[in-house]
Amino acid sequence: MKRHFILITMIALSLALSAEIHSEAGKYGFKFLNIPLNPVSSALAGRGVHSEANIGSWILQPSAAAMYSHQAVAISHSSWLGDTAYTSVVYSNASRNSHIGLALRNLSYGEIDKRDETGLYLGTYSPTDIGVSGNYARRLSPSIYVGANLNVAYQKLDTASALALTADLGITTLTLLKDSRVSFSARNLGFSNKMDEENVKLPHSFDLDVYKGFQFNEQHLGLESGVVFPPDADPQAHIASELTLLERLHLRAGYKFNTDVSGITAGLGFAISGFNLDYGFTPHDDGLGDAHSFGLSYSF
């Protein structure tokens, strides 16, 4: 069972774009909690927590969504690495003073060969990860927002499974510069039961994100940078940009440092009549396969 657990963990590490081998690599479960939720996040170096177009930004930063005003639903689907697929459904209701969010996530690895210790083929099994999340965020003062997520995560390999209860905490503060903010979050804090009598560590992380926007007539440029401190890899920095033209077309690009060779991400989005269609692309040149993410959202 440990062999199967390590296999799934390594796949999830690849999906999360963690490349460097760390002394703690392979020791953490529930890695799907750190995978970019939708094409907006994927295109913006796996983050995009300050992008208003990112309906699921609160998954990574529980406090930031409270500063916007919308009521929206979104569905996204990502595929890469053979039959691996990641699907999410998100609801977000923000009023500039508070935010309520709900999300359902599912990561399916397709069918994996099952073999005994001698290598004898025994058939196939289909691992899966499922997560349900809720968010509440509130504006504490004219420049400070706080938020929290409660997550229930389920992980199933072959015949073994585990259940986890985690929380994410976040704070966002506006700065003296116009259209700028700084956010900090602590994620995946909690506990899980054992899987096949083995302890499963949660992939907690501490994240710092900085954002600055620029307005040019009807165009808007948002620049974001930050760093993530995971428990099983070296600190991972990122930079990203989102150019919005005529409030309809979004052009996105990013770069992740301390990941694999292909740290570049890109994507675009188009808005019309309340609908938003988004696409995110993450190339790989190490045999993992390119990652394609598609999303559709509707604002009421």
Which CATH number is 2-299 given?
2.40.160.60
Residue 15: its pLDDT value, please? 45
Query: Hey, is 46 helix, strand or coil?
Result: coil
Cβ atoms 264, 9 nearer than 8 A: no
Residue 9: its pLDDT value, please? 43
How would you write the pLDDT of the chain (300 residues) with one tens digit per residue? 444 444 444 444 444 433 345 555 557 889 899 988 999 999 999 999 999 999 999 999 999 999 999 999 999 999 877 778 999 999 999 999 999 999 999 999 877 777 778 878 778 778 899 999 999 999 999 999 999 999 999 998 888 889 999 999 999 999 999 999 999 999 999 999 988 778 889 999 999 999 999 999 889 999 999 999 998 888 999 999 999 998 899 999 999 988 755 588 999 999 999 999 999 998 876 656 688 999 999 999
Domain edges within the chain: 2-299
Q: Which helix (H) or strand (E) holds 82?
A: none
Q: Computed over its alpha carbons, how large is the radius of gyration of the chain?
A: 19
Residue 23: its pLDDT value, please? 52
Chain centre distance of CA 136: 18
Digit-coded pLDDT (tens) for 174-232: 999 999 999 999 999 999 998 877 888 999 999 999 999 999 988 999 999 999 999 88
Residue 123: its pLDDT value, please? 80
Size (the chain), residues? 300
Alpha-carbon distance 52 to 259, whole Å? Answer: 26
Residue 194: its pLDDT value, please? 86
Cβ atoms 207, 184 nearer than 8 A: yes
Strand 128-141 and strand 144-156: the pairing is: antiparallel
**What are the start-end ranges of the H helices in the chain?**
2-15, 39-43
**pTM recorded for the entire structure:** 0.86
Digit-coded pLDDT (tens) for 5-32: 444 444 444 444 333 455 555 578 898 9
* Cα–Cα distance list, 268 to 41, 239, 242 (Å): 11, 16, 9
